[in-house]
Amino acid sequence: MNAVKNNKISMIGVPLQHGADRIGVDMGPSAIRGSNVQHRLEALGYQIQDLGDIHVNKMIEAYAAGEKLKHLKEIRNVNSRLCQVIADEIGKGQFPLVLGGDHSIAIGTIKGVLQHVNKLGVIWFDAHTDVNTEETTFSGNIHGMSLAVALGYGHQELVSIGGIDKKIRSENVVIIGARSIDQGERKFLKEKGIRVFTMHDIDRNGMKQVMEEALEIVTNGTDGVHLSLDLDGMDPDDAPGVGTPVSGGMSYRESHLAMEMLYERDCLVSAEFVEVNPMLDQHNKTARTAVELIGSVFGERIL
């Protein structure tokens, strides 16, 4: 099931922006494709099957003021479809590479992988921790709840996607690059014992040590690892085209080192790259950076 071993990648676009609070991230998949992601992977020896985009209904009702789960129905529908596609592709021996869209799509990706991989480790690169629930959210944006849902916490309509019993374990999850954490999320992370490597940890110990520790956690007793990479984990200077930029993020080279170490560990069974927003980008810089990181995680090297 590992991409390195079978060289077969299914690329799936999910042009969903209903989980975010700014328009434009629905154009992320086309921006990443337009930055020659397929050519880059084929040059590394992979066979790419581009399955196109999961259907997203663009014409949906406006949400009510103060709503705690904005666009819940359509986000559930899209993630249910994505879950099925992911499960089908892994069943065929393909490695699913998902292009977002906002980070709420991680619900469908992870739930789909869990149909085949019971003990799944997850590396979550993000400026945010995305463990809000209906009770703790300030914004009502579901892209800030996706990791909580994957852990089995949140609205029943989301947690039940792919089966209520399909969830990841908190001891198999690491978050890397966090620097914007809501109060309710801090409580959740401490209660569940989730390992968070903040930017302070990266500053103090360096990305090499952080990744070594992270990889030990996500591979300990698991059957594979999922990579969920939000481009806002990087510093806005390197990835300006994101909806919720937070200064002081991971550098271009730190991010590449993390991807290179992931490849070397040979543990990935699935990956997604999310939150590229071309409307906020500068000369397609963020989409190009996403493609370059995808190259590194699939084995591209300087020499």
Q: Which amino acids are annotated as binding site for Mn(2+), given as ranges?
A: 103, 126, 128, 130, 230, 232
CA dist., res. 259 & res. 286, Å (int): 16
Active site residue 71: no
Among 18, 71, 143, 226, the active-site one is 143
Active site residue 102: no
Active site residue 126: yes
Active site residue 232: yes
Residue ranges for the known binding site are 103, 126, 128, 130, 230, 232
- Whether 248 and 235 have beta carbons less than 8 Å apart is answered as yes
Active site residue 130: yes
Among 71, 128, 226, 256, the active-site one is 128
- Whether 54 and 77 have beta carbons less than 8 Å apart is answered as no
Active site residue 21: no
Cα separation of the two ends of the chain: 27
Strands 268-274 and 225-230 come out as parallel
Is the four-CA dihedral 4, 95, 241, 69 of positive or negative sign?
negative
Among 74, 126, 254, 281, the active-site one is 126
CA dist., res. 157 & res. 231, Å (int): 27
Q: Residue holding tokens 């009770």?
A: 135
Among 74, 89, 201, 230, the active-site one is 230
Active site residue 256: no
Among 26, 102, 185, 232, the active-site one is 232
* Alpha carbon of residue 13 to chain centroid: 13
Among 26, 74, 89, 130, the active-site one is 130
> For the stretch 32-50, what's the b/e string if a residue is b when 16 or more beta carbons lie within 10 angstroms of its beta carbon?
bbebebbebbeeeebebee
Among 26, 275, 281, 300, the active-site one is 275
Residue positions annotated with a catalytic role: 103, 126, 128, 130, 143, 230, 232, 275
